[in-house]
Structure 1
Amino acid sequence: MAIEETERRVTLGWRETAAKAAVFSTLRLKGLLLPLGLLLAWEATSRLELIPAYLLPAPGEVFGELAALWRSGDLFDHILITGWRVALGFAVGAAAATFLGALTGSSRLLRELLDPTIQALKAVPSLAWVPLFILWFGIFETSKVLLIAVGVFFPIYLNLVTGILGTDRKLVEVAKVCGLSQLDLVRRVLVPATLPSYLTGLRAGLALGWMFVIAAELMGASEGLGFLMIDGQMTGRPAVIIGALILFALAGKLSDALIEAVSKRLLSWQDGYGETQETPNA
């Protein structure tokens, strides 16, 4: 009987895994419908000449321009340097946000001292930092990475502090009654309670990192996708500008999907509404 029960559970597990994989694939395919529809509309607009080609070139021209840049090796260099800037800026901004967010979230005194200033700085537009960073750090990589880090910092900080302050007080009180040490309280209560908000902040921060890299590459860059867009503007090549926009969208989506996949594994214990939507009826 024990063997039969084990086989039954294994079979049910395989079926559930296969069903989730099928639903996941279906959802991914549905996500391609809108981009494909936009691509077809774009192609139709170009063929019917509804918009002049110097304003909106045909998809074939855009992808042809990207293919030419790829064959020359320039496109790979532009993608690599922009990706490196975003990755480094994201690491610096996320580390600073995690450190300050943990401090201000866990200490009322530090929150009253630091949080008002941080919230005020959050409202400063990204381009407003550019002249100051050029003055302080020059036009080289340091200023670019720090500008990206500024963009990454605020959503991660805000989500982490919100997650800590939103932790159910009853859980903390029960943990203290049970005699948990401060380290165990953080590990068993605060981290699981805060993790969903923190991971959401990481995704939002990464998205802003891709936005801020364009402003960063205005600061005397000679490589990168942002530079490629500016070069396309200066030389009157709209195909290059649109191609760089498409690459930004793809890079942002791929990096976001990576964090999303990690988030799903770390939050596999959750039984949220989204999980019920993805699971087919028996």
Structure 2
Amino acid sequence: MTVRSVEVELGVGAALPRARRRGFFERHQSRIRALGSIVVVFALWELIGRFVITNRLFFVPLSSVFASAGDLWARGELQLHVRTSFLEFALGFGAAALAGIALGAAMAVRRALRDYLDPWVAFLYATPTVALAPLFILWFKLGIESKVAVILLVSIFPILLNTLTGIEGTDRHLIEAARSFGARPMQIFAKVMLPSALPVIVTGLRLGLARGLVGVVVAELFGAKAGLGYLILYSAQTFDMAALFAGVLILAVAGVVSSEALKALERRLAPWRFVEVER
């Protein structure tokens, strides 16, 4: 009996095209669901704004938000606000990511350092950032430095704590196996502990990213002359709901795009975590 006859007997040949089709849809199932949910929510937003909540002081349809964003873009204001906010965010979140991962890793491998810093991490993490924003303005004046400091403060702790937890949660059997092969402490950290903690670190980055975008708005509530937070505040004070929602929507889209970028980075750096999911 030939291989082809066996395939025909078992129905494998006929099943392969269907399996390929199912594989295509399965591979893109998450994206299709996400896109579908976005379309549904946007459609409901438009319908509610047009037929349910018709008072423009409380709610506006999505088409009005896009029209307001287009008007701001045509006047050159939106570009200024976006550029200002994302420069502040890039500097603040970048500094928080570097400092959070470095400090979390150091606290995970140095017990004494963790004992010294643990109370201060808990203290600062529980401190309301809104209360500290005016203080940062007094320290760093009205320039970009005060905004970067606020964003760094609100972003760093999820990254730090997730890095600490991820490294401490490394499987001890893996560490002992590396030691049995003569690996030095730095090699164990770089080849075993850090890759093991990578998914948790990426989760911390995603949490810190979301908090950092909120920090942009908080930082620009005090003494800012440009930025999406300033646009949101000014629009609220002038009852321009369309411009207000435009600023909120831009920040939300930025959060989604950045989160997906971190997911893609995790897939590239830790592909073994997604093998079972993609089968």
What residue identity is the alignment partner of 2:201? Answer: Y
Return the offset for 1:223. 1.1
Q: 1: CA distance between counterparts of 2:127 and 2:226? A: 26
After superposition, the C-alpha distances for 1:81-103 in whole angstroms (9 at most, x for unaligned) are 11111111011111111221111
| 8 Å contact from structure 1 (residues 85, 144) kept in 2 | yes
What residue identity is the alignment partner of 2:151? Answer: I
Q: 1: CA distance between counterparts of 2:204 and 2:156? A: 9
Q: TM-score, normalised by structure 2?
A: 0.87
Q: 1: CA distance between counterparts of 2:27 and 2:134? A: 46
1:192-207 maps to which residues of 2 (within 5 A)?
192-207=195-210
SS of the residue corresponding to residue 53 of structure 1 reads: coil
Residue 24 (structure 2) pairs with residue 38 (structure 1): no
Unaligned runs of 5+ in 2: 1-17
Overall identity of the aligned pairs, in %: 35
- Shift in alpha-carbon separation, 1:224–1:17, aligned structure 2, 3 A: farther
| Higher relative contact order, structure no. (Cα contacts within 8 Å, ≥ 6 residues apart) | 1
SS of the residue corresponding to residue 56 of structure 2 reads: coil
Other-structure match for 2:213: 210
Q: 2: CA distance between counterparts of 1:197 and 1:266? A: 13
What residue identity is the alignment partner of 1:45? Answer: I
2:58 maps to which of 52, 55, 59: 55
- Shift in alpha-carbon separation, 1:24–1:227, aligned structure 2, 3 A: farther
Q: 1: CA distance between counterparts of 2:58 and 2:95? A: 38
Other-structure match for 2:178: 175
SS of the residue corresponding to residue 223 of structure 1 reads: coil
Other-structure match for 2:100: 97
Residue 271 (structure 2) pairs with residue 268 (structure 1): yes
1:122 maps to which of 116, 120, 125: 125
Other-structure match for 1:77: 80
Residue 91 (structure 2) pairs with residue 107 (structure 1): no
Q: TM-score, normalised by structure 1?
A: 0.86
1:160 maps to which of 156, 159, 163: 163
Other-structure match for 2:3: none
- Shift in alpha-carbon separation, 1:175–1:161, aligned structure 2, 3 A: same
| 8 Å contact from structure 1 (residues 144, 219) kept in 2 | no
**Count of residues paired in the alignment:** 262
2:137 maps to which of 134, 143, 149: 134
- Shift in alpha-carbon separation, 1:241–1:172, aligned structure 2, 3 A: same
Other-structure match for 1:5: none
Other-structure match for 2:232: 229
After superposition, the C-alpha distances for 1:6-65 in whole angstroms (9 at most, x for unaligned) are xxxxxxxxx999976643433212112222222222222233244412211222222111
SS of the residue corresponding to residue 28 of structure 2 reads: helix
- Shift in alpha-carbon separation, 1:233–1:74, aligned structure 2, 3 A: same
| 8 Å contact from structure 2 (residues 82, 228) kept in 1 | yes
Return the offset for 1:211. 0.8
After superposition, the C-alpha distances for 1:214-241 in whole angstroms (9 at most, x for unaligned) are 0111121111111111110122201111
After superposition, the C-alpha distances for 1:221-272 in whole angstroms (9 at most, x for unaligned) are 111111111110122201111111111111111111111111111110235x
- Shift in alpha-carbon separation, 1:58–1:21, aligned structure 2, 3 A: same
Other-structure match for 2:245: 242
